[in-house]
Amino acid sequence: MRTLGIALKPKKTLLIGAGKVAAQKSKVLDSLDFPHDIIAQEVLDDYFASKTFTCKAFEDADAIGYEVIIDATGNEAVTSRLVALKPLHHFWLNVVDVPELCDFYFSALTQRDDIQVAISSGGSSPSLAQVIRDKVERILPRNLGSLIERLKRERQQPERDLARLRGIAKEGVGKVFLIGCGTGYVGNLTLDALNAFELLDVALVDALVSEEIRALIPLTCNVVDVSKKKGFHSKTQEEINALLVGYAKEGLVVGRLKGGEPLLFGRLGEEKQTLKEHGIEFEVINGVSSAFRSCTVSGIVPTIRDISKGVSIVSAHLRESLFNDEWITLIRQPLHTVIVLMAHSFAKKIQDAIAKEGIDANTPAAFVSKIDLPNQVTIVGTVANLDKMAALCSTPAVLIIGECVARENIIASANSGKIIYM
């Protein structure tokens, strides 16, 4: 089979049948504002409850005057009559699920304003066509209307530059996925993230994205390491922003792969703002945050009735490796848990700041280190010995402070790993 894509203005169309299959075809026609008459002996699908149709068995005379006829009856007698009538009345025939009798096929269609993308398997596998259509849906920007209008105006210029037109078109179809990859454990990667990987042309990957997750990125994808570690940045945030914009304006599908949950101290706001300023469409895919995964794997429950009624998630780290201690007073709040990210290297400073505030030195605290890795460990103690606790583990580590960390409140599970009490 060879397919010629043609745009049809509405033809006088007849749909025979009112069951589930007929409803699928009627929905497609309705979505395209393609008027059609319906003949059926009985209604077998609720979609037709509010539609006007002729309730009768198909007769030869019913085919007269129609340019397109869709047979969704599954009735071999009706199909045989239509095949015999076709040379007499010169209509196009589609017999659902019988490709060899079809003059045309329904495509899995994606529509963005005036742009239509039709995927056809020649009738052999509508399911495959739909799967491919769904992938195209994820890639295409939602709003192409303004781009189409711009290209239309450019095309009407007396001396139009085809290379320039192509460049404008490429810039308008780029897209960025801002993807949270969790703590690195493949089992915590969301299905949305995994599905997005399959669409990527280029991936900008952080240091905290594990090798196991990197291995899931398709080989056809260009992987760019943009790791940012304390004391070493392979790329500044400004350079990363420029890469996102640059690749997207080449018409590529770009993935920004971040450790943890990008909404929490992941520079997501800056990247979203940059993309918005350049008119680039983006999607955000959440990841499993180390803030809560640390609680899961350590057996710590951050909210327990009568022990902790709220949680604050803070960072001990500011830009340029500066120490942030503005959150320290939150520890004073009764029945409250404070989860501190990027705290390990500041353990002594945090300990001193807590002491300076006169906060109870016996307030329970825990470092949860190497979350979901074989060498995962939880160090449980108090805020008075945070520096000693930090010395017993390594980064990345999450600090949890509050009565929920008290030994009697920790309930270990199968994935809790090693727990050391000081």
Q: Which of 228, 235, 272, 349 is catalytic?
A: 228
Torsion of CA 398, 178, 212, 261, to 10 degrees: 20
pTM assigned to the model? 0.76
Catalytic residue status for 175: no
Domain architecture of the chain: domains with CATH: 13-106 (3.40.50.720), 174-285 (3.40.1010.10), 294-421 (3.30.950.10)
Write the pLDDT tens digit of every residue in 236-276.
889 999 999 999 999 999 999 999 998 988 888 999 999 99
Q: Which residue shows structure tokens 């070493």?
A: 232
Q: DSSP 3-state assignment of 339? A: strand
Render the burial of 67-77: b for 16+ CB within 10 Å, e for the rest.
ebbbbbbeeee
Average pLDDT over residues 46-51: 89
pLDDT band for position 284 (cuts 50, 70, 90):
very high
* Of residues 288, 399, 310, the one with CA closest to residue 349: 399
Q: Which residue's structure tokens are 């007769």? A: 59
Q: How far apart are CA 410 and CA 111, in angstroms?
A: 53
| pLDDT 10s digits, 286-335 | 999 999 999 999 999 999 999 999 999 999 987 767 899 999 999 999 99
Residues in Cβ contact with 17 at an 8 Å cutoff, skipping those fewer than 6 apart: 40, 71, 72, 73, 74
* Amino acid 229: pLDDT: 59
Q: What is the mean pLDDT of the chain?
A: 89
Q: Do residues 248 and 256 lie in contact, with contact meaning Cβ atoms separated by under 8 Å?
A: no
Give yes or no: 228 in active site: yes
Between residues 53 and 228, which one has the greater pLDDT?
Answer: 53
Query: DSSP string of 35-82?
Result: --EEEESS--SGGGGGS--EES---GGGGTT-SEEEE-S--HHHHHHH
Q: Find the catalytic residue in 71, 201, 206, 372.
A: 206
- Counting every residue written for the chain, the total comes to 422
